[in-house]
Amino acid sequence: MATNRTRRSRGAIEAAGTPAADQDAPPARSAVVQEAPAPGTLPDAAAFADPAVIAGDGAAGAPDGDPTSPLLATAPAAVNPDAGQAATPDPDAAAAPDPESPAAAPVIRVGVRHGDLGYAHYPVLVGHYLGDTIVSAERVLDQRLNGALSERMQLGLYPGRPGTHALFFSAGPRGRPAGALVVGLGQVGDLAPGLLETVVRDTLIDYALRISRWPDGRFGPADTVRSAGVSCLLVGSGAGGMTVTDSVKAILRGALAAADRLREAGLGSRVVIDHLEFLEIYHDLAIAAARALDGALMDAAVAARVDWPRRVIEAGEGGQRRIRCEEAPDWWQRLEIIQEGAGQDGGEALRFIASTDRARAEVTLAAGQLRLADSFIAHASRSDAANTEAAKTLFEMLLPSRLRELAPRQGALVLLVDETSARFPWELLEDRWSDSGRPPAVGAGMVRQLKTPRYRPHPGHATEPRAFVVGNPNLTDWDAFGDLPGARDEANLVIGLLRANDYQVRDCIDEEADAILSGLHKDAWRILHLAGHGVHEFPVSVAAPAACPACGQAAAARAQRRSGMVIGRETFLTPGDVEQMRWVPELVFINCCHLGKTQGSVPPRYNELAANLAVQFIGMGVKAVIAAGWAVNDQASLSFAECFYTRLLAGEFFGEAVREAREQVWRRFPDVNTWGAYQCYGDPAFRLRIQPVESVPAVRRPYHDPAELVADLQNLIQGIRMQVRAGRDDAAATAARRADIERLVAAIPDTETEVWLARADLAAALGLAWGETRDYAQAVTWLERALQAETGDCALRVLGLCNDFRVRLVGEHWQALRNEPADGPREDRRTALVEQIEASIDELTLVCRRAATVERLSALGNAWRYRAWLHNEWAARRAALVKMEGYLAQALAKSAAPSPRYFPLWAAVKLLTRDPSRIEDWQAGLPDDLHAMIQQAVARHAAEPSFNNAVAVADNETALLLTQSEPHPATAPRIIDLYRAAVGGGASPREIATMLEYLDFLIALGEGLPAPVRRALGEIRAAL
C-alpha cells in the first residue's frame, strides 16, 4: 500500500510538469517520496527536538482527527546524528558491544561540528573559571535556559572551584539546547589536562545517572538503554591557557573514564555515554579540533574505544568565520599581585602572576623600589588634585616590564590582591607612553578581587530591594571633624536613584550614632551606602584604669586606635560592628573620604582605611564593595555615584558600570584624580538584576580592510539567525540587530566609505544582513547595488535573493493595502505591485532557464504565490496557483531526496486548486505521504538540528490539517507547540516571517476549506 501511495504522489508531481507558459524551463524530474518507515525506527514528533528521543509509527489510515496522528507509538530508536537520516540496526555499528558483558568496553561515537550551540545535538558541556563572568557561550546558554545559570550564580551555588559542576536541563523535551553541563575550572592559569579530565569524568557520571533516572520518556523509555550523549565546547582552550589538542584529549579521556565507571557499576544496561560531539562556532577552531581529534585517535588504546565515522567537520547552524584572531572582548583578564619576602635581603617585593598570552609571567620587584613607591603613593593621594606625573612614575615603578608592554592592549582586568598589595592605588596608574592618553582603568574595565583565608562560609543575603543610606552623620558636638555637605548631597542623590528604581530606602542623613546603628541592624539590606568622615587607626582617649587595690599605684593609661566611619563623638562604625550584621548586603559603597575639615597634624591614610574596610566586608561575603582610597572632589564623586548607580540599577554588569563611571569622571573633571580613587572589589559579572540584559556594545575600532567588515556582517547574519525569540521583546531585538549593522558600517574609515560601499561583496553582505532583519527595502537596495558594482565579487545567488526579497516586500505592501477601501487609488497601487511581481517573475524565470536550482525554483514558485494573492478573480488566481505548483514540483523533483521543507507548500497548493467535484488519485495517498514527510523531517532534525528542519515538521502537520474535514480539538494546539519549538531554537525575523507567510497564504486563499479547518488555521496563526 505504501508503495502505491508513493507512486500516486510521484505521478501527481510529474503530472504538474513544466508550467504551460514556460516550455523552455528545465524539465521536471520525478520526486521520490520515501515509503513510510516501519514502526520503531523514527523519533516521535512530540519530542522531535531531542536527538535521543523515541520513535513513532508512520502507518497509514489514522482516523481523521486523531490527536496523536500521525506519530503515537513510542519505541527505542538510535538516531545517528552523523548519518543525516534515521539510523537502522547495524550489527557492525560502533556501539555493538553488549553492555551486560563485563568485558565489553563502551565505544563512543565522536564528531566535530562547526555551528552555534543553539542547535547542539545534546546538552552542552562548558567550563567556568573561579570568579569569572557568565559571558560568551555561558551567556548564550543562560539566555536559552531562561536565566537558570544566572539564578544559580546569584545564590552562590555556581561551579568555579576545581571539581565542582552543575547540571541544567531545558524546561521541556523540545528545548534547544537540551541543557548545560557547567564544570568548575578553578583559577585562570591553574587548569591542567589532568584536572580537566577528572572534572569531565565526574560531571558525565552525574549526568548519566540523571538521565538513567529521568522520570519521563524524554531520554527514552525507562526499560531501555538510554543515551547520555553530550556536546562539548573546547573547554580550557583559548584564554584558559590550554591548547585545543590538550582540551580535546582531556575531554575524550574523561568521557571514556566515565563510561568505564558506569559499566563497572553495573549501569550499562540503563544508560551509556555513546555520543560526544565537539562543538565550535568559529571555523578555524573547528578545524583545529578536528586535527586534534585525528591526532588523539593515533593512540591505539583511544582508537579502540572511539569511533569517528565521517572524519570531516560537519556543518551546523550559525557557524561563523573570522579573518583575524582575538580574544572575546567581554572576558576579563586576571592578574594576581601578592607581596612577599624578596629573599636574601629580607625585604619585600611584589610578585605578579598573569595569565596573559596563555602563559604565566612572574616578576618580583626589589625592596627599595617598594619603599620608594610608598612615598609616591602618599604624595599622589594627599589631595584630590590630578598629579599625572606621580601616577605615571608609579606605573613604571610598580609594574614589571612584561606587563608594561601589554598595557597598550587595555583589556578588561581583574586584580587579585592580598591584604598588603591591596594598599597600592592600582587604578590611578597611567602609562606615559600610551597612544590613547587614557589611563588603563579608564580605557578598559578594572576591578579587584581579594585573596583571603577568612570568610563567612554561608552568608545570608537579602532578596528584597531594600537599601540603607548613611550621609554626613551628626558630629556637631565634636570639633575634630567638620560638616560634609558633599556627603549629604551624595546620600540624597543615591536615595533618589534607588527609590526611582523601586527600592525601599532607610535614610540616615545628619543622624545621631544611635539611629545609625539601630538602622543598620533593623532590616536585611541589599545595598549599604556610607558617605561621611573616615579614619584609620585614629587615637581615642580611654579613661585611666583604677589604681591597684594592693599597692595603690595607678595603672598606665593605654591608648586605643580605631578605624572606620565616624558616626558620633568618639564613636565609629567599625568593621567589627558590621561583622555583627546577620544579613550581608550584596553591594557596599563606602565614601568616607569627602573633602572637609579634619583636625590633626598626621595626614589620614585613606588608602589603608579603604583596604581595611574592604577586607572586612569581603570576608563577610559582600558581593561588591566600592571604597574611596583618598579624599575625593565633591562634584566628581556625585558624578561617579550617579553614573555607577544608574548603570547598575538598569541591569548593567558591575565591572562595566564601574568602567563607565570612571570614564565619565575622567572626562568631566580632568583636573582631579577622583576617577582613580575608587577601589572596586567584586565579580565583574555581578548585577543587581537577575534578568539577562543586553550590554551596551563596545565602541568599534576602525576597519583596516573591507574583508574584515564582510566577515563581521556574515557572522552577524548567523547571529541574527540564532536569535532566540522573546515574545514582547521581538521588536526591540530586531531594532538592536539593525543598529548593529549601522554600527559596523560606521566603523569604515571616513576616507574609505564611498569606495568600500561601492564593492559588490560588501554591498551583497549588507543586503543579506538587512534581509535577515526583514528590512526588505534596504535589502533590495543593497543587493541591486551589488549586482551593478564594478569592483568586488558577487555570487549568482544574489540575483535570486534580490528578487525574492523584492517579492516579499511586495507581499508586505499588499498585506497593508488589502485592508483599505476598494477604490481607484487602491486599485492603482495594486496594479503597480502586480507589475513589480511580474518583473521579478521574468527575471527569476530567466535565471532558472540558465541554471535552475532547488532554491531558485522554489523562489519562483513563491513569486507566483504572491501573484495569485494579488489577483481579484478566482480564475486568474487559480492559474497563478497552478504555475506555483508546477515550479514547486520541479523543485521537489530536482532535490536529491524528497524534501519535507518544500513538500507541504506543494501539497497545500494542490489542495487549494483541486476540483471539488471529483477526487483524483493523488488525493487518496496525500495524507500518508504527509505522514512520511513528517517522519523524515523529524529524523532530519534529529540528525541535523536546524530551524528549517524543525519548522518542516510543523508545516507538514499543517498541510495534513488541510486534508481533514473535522480536525480533532487537540490538533491546533499540537501544531502551535511545534511551531513554537521551532522558533525556540533560534530564528531570524526573515525566517519567522516566512513561517507566518505560509499560514497567512493558507488563510487568505483557503476560502473553500471546511469551516473547522479554517478555524483551526486561524487559531494557529493567532497564537504565533
Confirm whether 349 is domain-assigned: yes
94-104: per-residue pLDDT in tens?
444 454 444 45
On whether both 905 and 951 belong to a single domain, the answer is yes
Confirm whether 296 is domain-assigned: yes
Query: End of a domain among 450, 476, 506?
Result: 450
Strand partners, 226: 271
Confirm whether 240 is domain-assigned: yes
On whether both 182 and 284 belong to a single domain, the answer is yes
On whether both 445 and 495 belong to a single domain, the answer is no
pLDDT at 259 over 50: yes
Residue of 533, 603, 610, 522 lying closest to 571 (CA atoms) = 533
Q: How far apart are the first and last CA of the chain?
A: 37
pLDDT at 389 over 50: yes
| Rounded-to-integer distance, Cα 196 and Cα 202, Å | 10
Residue of 503, 710, 729, 472 lying closest to 596 (CA atoms) = 472
Residue of 625, 623, 602, 624 lying closest to 613 (CA atoms) = 625
pLDDT at 331: 66
> And the C-alpha cell for 455?
570568610
pLDDT at 780 over 50: yes
Spatial strand order of the sheet with 571-573 comes to: 534-540, 560-568, 571-573
| Rounded-to-integer distance, Cα 943 and Cα 802, Å | 31
Confirm whether 249 is domain-assigned: yes
Determine phi and psi for 501, rounding to 5 degrees. Answer: -110, 30
On whether both 393 and 301 belong to a single domain, the answer is no
pLDDT at 409 over 80: no
Confirm whether 184 is domain-assigned: yes
What is the full DSSP assignment across 720-789? HHTPPP-GGGHHHHHHHHHHHHHHHHHTS-TTTHHHHHTBHHHHHHHHHHHHHTT-HHHHHHHHHHHHH-
pLDDT at 487 over 80: yes
On whether both 305 and 208 belong to a single domain, the answer is yes
pLDDT at 978 over 80: yes
Mean pLDDT is lowest, of 552-566, 691-705, 707-721, for 691-705
Q: pLDDT category, 483, cuts 50, 70, 90?
A: confident
On whether both 630 and 535 belong to a single domain, the answer is yes
Written in H, E and C, the secondary structure of 914-974 is CCCCCCCHHHHHHHHHHHHHHHHHHHHHHHCCCHHHHHHHHHHHHHHHHCCCCCCCCHHHH
**SS3 at position 328:** coil
Q: pLDDT category, 241, cuts 50, 70, 90?
A: low
| Rounded-to-integer distance, Cα 26 and Cα 893, Å | 11
pLDDT at 235: 92
Query: End of a domain among 315, 347, 382?
Result: 315
pLDDT at 987 over 60: yes
Percent of the chain at pLDDT above 70?
A: 74
Q: Count how many domains the chain has.
A: 4
Residue bearing the bigger pLDDT, 40 or 293: 293
| Rounded-to-integer distance, Cα 280 and Cα 289, Å | 8
pLDDT at 168 over 90: yes
Pairing, β 571-573 against β 560-568: antiparallel
pLDDT at 698 over 90: no
Structural domain harbouring 428: 333-450
The chain-wide mean pLDDT, for the chain, equals: 77
On whether both 131 and 160 belong to a single domain, the answer is yes
Averaged pLDDT, 212-236? 90
425-481: per-residue pLDDT in tens?
888 777 666 656 678 788 778 898 887 767 676 677 776 789 999 998 988 888 878
> And the C-alpha cell for 651?
541591569
| Rounded-to-integer distance, Cα 1003 and Cα 506, Å | 59
Outline where DSSP puts E strands in 73-200. Answer: 108-114, 124-128, 165-169, 179-184
On whether both 446 and 470 belong to a single domain, the answer is no
Confirm whether 646 is domain-assigned: yes
Q: pLDDT category, 369, cuts 50, 70, 90?
A: low
The amino acid at 1016? A
Radius of gyration of the chain (CA): 34
pLDDT at 837: 87
Q: pLDDT category, 108, cuts 50, 70, 90?
A: very high
Q: Do residues 577 and 602 lie in contact, with contact meaning Cβ atoms separated by under 8 Å?
A: no
On whether both 195 and 295 belong to a single domain, the answer is yes
Instruction: Provide the sign of the torsion angle of the four alpha carbons 209, 215, 217, 223, taken in this order.
Output: positive
Confirm whether 983 is domain-assigned: yes
Averaged pLDDT, 202-227? 91
On whether both 925 and 1012 belong to a single domain, the answer is yes
CATH number at residue 258: 3.40.220.10
Q: Looking at residue 681, what DSSP letter applies?
A: E
pLDDT at 871: 79
Q: pLDDT category, 375, cuts 50, 70, 90?
A: low
Confirm whether 739 is domain-assigned: no
The amino acid at 474? N
On whether both 165 and 279 belong to a single domain, the answer is yes
Q: Do residues 320 and 305 lie in contact, with contact meaning Cβ atoms separated by under 8 Å?
A: no
Cα separations (Å) of 27 from 272, 884, 893, 998, 999? 50, 15, 9, 26, 30
On whether both 404 and 481 belong to a single domain, the answer is no
